[in-house]
Amino acid sequence: MADEPEHVQKYYQLLQIKANDRDFEPQTSDSTILELVSYYESNHNQELLKQVYYYAARTYISLQDATLAEEYFEKALNVEGSLSNSQIHWWMGDLYRKQGLYDMSIKSFHQAYEGEQPEDSIEQMIDLFALGNTYREMERYDSCIHYMQETYKMAKSQKDSSLMRTSSAAIADVAIKYGRYDYARNLLGSRLANVLNSKDGDLLMTAANLYVKIGQRDSAYMIYQRLAGLPLTKRMKRDVYKDLLSLNLKRGNVAEAYDDLLHYEHFDDTVHKDDLSATLLKMRSVYDYRIREKRNEELKIANEHKKLWIVSISTLLLLVLVSLLWAINHYRQKQVILKFKVKKKDELIAHYLQKNKQEKETERQTIEQSDIYQIITVAIRQGEHLTEDNWQKLDKTVNTVFPHFNARLAELCKMSQHDNHVCLLIKIGIQPKDIANLTDHSPESVSSTRRRLYQRAFGKKATPKDWDNVILSL
């Protein structure tokens, strides 16, 4: 190939880029495509120049530079050639949608649809589906249903079963939001019977949501378990564990709910970090674009420094703003979790207060008749501390008499070994002054520990007695 004329070599490079794009191979550099842009701009081959501009835009999408991608799409539209403008408009619409520029996205998808030839029925269906999907992201559900129904009609006439399934599932998802559960069920049809064998994340999420709404929580639970094992996006994983958390709480599965909460917090934090990274990439994209513009226009050094200073300050301010917004959102998420804990605490205390005297008396007698309680009583009288073996026996006895005590305690906050020992002793009714002797701490230290644990768990100050009430309710 090195011995071939330049125009043959350049055309071969273009074919390689087209093949990679067709195979969804992401571009890692813009060096080759920029060489082709320069070459075809200078030799006035309009047909190939239009293609080069288009694949330059596709390259910058891979490089997450939306600004340059949009610029090259616009250039491609302004050049005559056999490459369909509808195809360019479609990718511009998808680019705008991913940036949240929905009005521009809708306009581009309409332009794509209107520019299709009558015989291009497959492309028309894809355009209609893209419009419906964009309206769904905008939460304009009436428009979403309209375009999804149009997609379904065309797909049915063309016997495109794949697009029929996809569009009907999208309509079902919207129908659920409107409370039309029977309609959604009919749309999903026989796929519900075999849904657990599906790997389609969107279908599974729609089915699970439907089952939750119609009260079939066991079916929803199995589907969410299936979803948890699939390679979904981080946002979908977050939503799955959020719904699993809710279901496990309603089922009384406290330990599983705690695991779901941990997974939810992990994916929620990851999504926020990804959002922040995406914002920073967009900022970097704008920055790089301005640098390239300055280099191409060969501005004077003084002007370059001035513009670089402006860009740097703007980037810094935007970074501070984005970081602040992320911190605010993270704080709100923490507040939601704290509210959940406080609500759960109130429910547990209320349940404890409603216990009949006989049940409480039985628990007290069981504890006081245990070997470890007798050991503790002797240790209190003799001013001794408990051994590690004693602490293990106490832990085992408490969790036997009060099932899931450790799991419920772990839901509240992280604890040191000393914190855990204090809580175990509170649970069996040991007085604070005796807890201090048994743990080799001062009474003031034990009081401070109880106040600190309450604030750590619920985000506000309270008395040591308030923490005792929480422990007694577990």
pLDDT digits (tens, 9 = 90+) for 44-61: 788 899 999 999 999 999
Nearest to residue 152, comparing CAs of 162, 140, 142? 162
pTM summary value: 0.51
Q: Rounded CA gap, 192 and 16, in Å?
A: 43
Q: Rounded CA gap, 349 and 456, in Å?
A: 18
Q: Rounded CA gap, 469 and 172, in Å?
A: 47
- Count other C-beta atoms under 10 Å from residue 136's C-beta: 20
pLDDT (0 to 100) of residue 199: 87
Q: Give the ranges where 355-387 is alpha helix by DSSP (H).
A: 357-368, 371-382
Q: Please, which contacts does 166-169 make with residues 24 or more away whose CB atoms are closer than 8 Å? A: 166/129, 166/202, 167/129, 167/132, 169/200, 169/202, 169/203, 169/206
Q: Rounded mean pLDDT of 18-25?
A: 87
Nearest to residue 437, comparing CAs of 445, 427, 428? 445
Tell me the average pLDDT of the chain: 86
Percentage of the chain surpassing pLDDT 90?
46
The residue behind tokens 């330059």 is 56
pLDDT tens per residue, range 216-259 = 999 999 999 999 999 988 888 999 999 999 999 988 888 999 99
Phi–psi pair at 41, nearest 5 degrees: -70, -30
Distance set, CA 456 to CA 75, 153, 350 (Å): 58, 57, 21
- Give yes or no for residue 293 having a pLDDT over 70: no
DSSP string spanning 412-426?
Answer: H----HHHHHHHHHH
Q: Rounded mean pLDDT of 157-183?
A: 87
pLDDT (0 to 100) of residue 36: 93
CB 113 within 8 A of CB 105: no
Which residue has better confidence, 315 or 292? 315
**458: Cβ–Cβ under 8 A, 6 or more apart, which residues?**
338, 341, 342, 345
Q: Rounded mean pLDDT of 349-375?
A: 82
Q: Rounded CA gap, 258 and 281, in Å?
A: 34
Nearest to residue 464, comparing CAs of 445, 449, 450, 452? 450
Distance set, CA 61 to CA 53, 71, 94, 111 (Å): 13, 11, 10, 20
pLDDT (0 to 100) of residue 119: 78
Q: Rounded CA gap, 282 and 314, in Å?
A: 13
pLDDT (0 to 100) of residue 235: 85
CB 397 within 8 A of CB 370: yes
At 452, the pLDDT band (50, 70, 90 cuts) reads: very high
- Count other C-beta atoms under 10 Å from residue 308's C-beta: 14
pLDDT (0 to 100) of residue 24: 82
Percentage of the chain surpassing pLDDT 70?
88
- Give yes or no for residue 282 having a pLDDT over 60: no
Conformational region of residue 101, where left means phi above 0, alpha means psi within -120 to 50, and beta covers everything else: beta
Which residue has better confidence, 302 or 167? 167
- Give yes or no for residue 172 having a pLDDT over 60: yes
Q: Rounded CA gap, 443 and 431, in Å?
A: 10
Q: Rounded CA gap, 421 and 446, in Å?
A: 11
- Count other C-beta atoms under 10 Å from residue 112's C-beta: 26
CB 70 within 8 A of CB 92: yes
Which amino acid is located at 269 in the chain? Answer: D
Q: Rounded CA gap, 374 and 161, in Å?
A: 73
**360: Cβ–Cβ under 8 A, 6 or more apart, which residues?**
none
